[in-house]
Amino acid sequence: MATTVDENSINELKDGEPIIRFEHVQQSFNDNVVIPDLNLTINAGELFVLVGTSGSGKTTTLKMVNQLQPQSGGKIFIKDENITDIGLQELRWNIGYVLQQIALFPTMTVAQNIAVIPEMKGVKREEIDATIDRLLNQVGLDPKKYRDRMPSELSGGEQQRIGICRAIASEPPVVLMDEPFSALDPISRTQLQDLVLDLHAKRHDTIIFVTHDMDEALKLGDRIAVMSEGKILQVDTPTNIAQHPANQFVEAFFSQSVAHNVYDVYVGKMVMMGFSVATLPDGHTAPIDISSDKTLGEAFDDLAHCEYLRVVDGDRQLGFINAQNIVNYLSQRKRDEDENN
């Protein structure tokens, strides 16, 4: 007999506590093993990114969470509940899903699309209407202008904003995002990445985000899992992956994305672009000075020994940087290059 998801119990999880666990999970298609033995824990409140090349198993991993592709073996848990013991409808009602293809219902208005899951769950009409207006405002779309529009009247970026609204309309504790911005133009993509970060900061939900783009992973992820051939090669923070790749594949994958800039971009340029802080946060020190003509590679080396560096130009203090500042700078530089190409 299927059990139900204890949504209140999941929402009561504190940030950092395990919410999703893969234990010796396997996936096969027509006797072809695509995921041999996956063990992974995703914590409540984190934006967790699965990144890898095509065929690495990242989307398959994502789809096993809401059982769009049931695993061939092993167990997946939401909190402490085996997902195979949960009714499929109940499971999916508590997991938002944003696809690359957007997939809004074409014969339904914007408001009707957003209302789908709340209506299925029996939420009162006035609450649904208030949610629609609130979410449209949060994603930068005026409810008066957009409520009654059809998907065909929207740009790709606008459609994906509605897709995000639909995915979070019922306040699910977990949201899955499967390469949601890869088909969009660079400007829309950057705007929606920023939107996801903003909504996540406000909602403290758990997001599992799939991408093939290391820049996107570095910008969004609290932690990143790098996948290849159905295996996880490294799970770590963006900074640690940039500084300490687990093997040559991870290092090469990172280098294809942004690391080619490390040795030809200067810290001084980063300071001028604003990717630094003027004063240190309380309780922090910057025991090492770095000249503004040093490379970011040299800065990364020094940051292995302390959290912040003081950037100087002769006797003049320019600012302070940490490893995350550098990662953010590299991601922004790559986006700028893409837009100009």
**For position 316, which CATH number holds?**
3.90.1280
Q: What is the pLDDT, as a whole number, of residue 169?
A: 95
Q: Domain containing 143 — which CATH number?
A: 3.40.50.300
* Residue 243 and residue 131 share a domain: yes
Determine the Cα–Cα distance for residues 4 and 103; give it in Å rounded to an integer.
27
Same structural domain for residues 101 and 22?
yes
Task: Give a yes or no: residue 68 inside a domain.
Answer: yes
- Give pLDDT, residue 115: 96
Q: What pLDDT, on the 0 to 100 scale, is given for residue 40? A: 97
Would 166 be classed as within a structural domain?
Answer: yes
Task: Tell whether 327 and 210 lie within a shared domain.
Answer: no
Distance (Å, whole) CA 245 – CA 300: 13
pLDDT string in tens for the chain (341-residue length): 444 555 545 666 777 789 999 999 999 998 899 999 999 999 999 999 999 988 899 999 999 999 999 999 999 999 889 999 999 998 998 999 998 777 899 999 999 999 999 999 999 999 999 999 999 999 999 999 999 999 999 999 999 999 999 999 999 999 999 999 988 887 888 889 889 999 999 999 999 999 988 888 888 899 999 999 999 999 998 878 877 888 888 887 776 654 444 333 456 666 656 666 777 878 888 888 888 777 777 787 788 888 888 888 777 777 888 888 787 777 776 666 666 65
Is 206 found in the same domain as 309?
Answer: no
pTM here? 0.76
Please list the residues that pair with 86 across neighbouring strands. Answer: 3
| Strand bridging mode 231-236 / 223-228 | antiparallel
In angstroms, the first-to-last Cα distance of the chain is 56
Which one of 208, 231, 256 terminates a domain?
256
> For the chain, what is the mean pLDDT?
85
Give yes or no: residues 280 and 168 share one domain.
Answer: no
| 1 part of a folded domain | no
- Percent of the chain's residues with pLDDT above 90: 50
At 2 the pLDDT is 46
Residues 182 and 80 occupy one common structural domain = yes
Q: Are both 60 and 136 inside the same structural domain? A: yes
Looking at residue 11, what is its pLDDT? 61
Model pLDDT, residue 26: 97
Give the residue numbers spanning the domain of 48: 17-256
| Residue 3 domain flag | no
Same domain, 236 and 266: no
Q: Please answer whether residues 328 and 341 qualify as being in contact, where contact means their C-beta atoms are separated by less than 8 angstroms.
A: no
Number of domains in the chain: 2
Question: 41 and 130: one domain?
Answer: yes
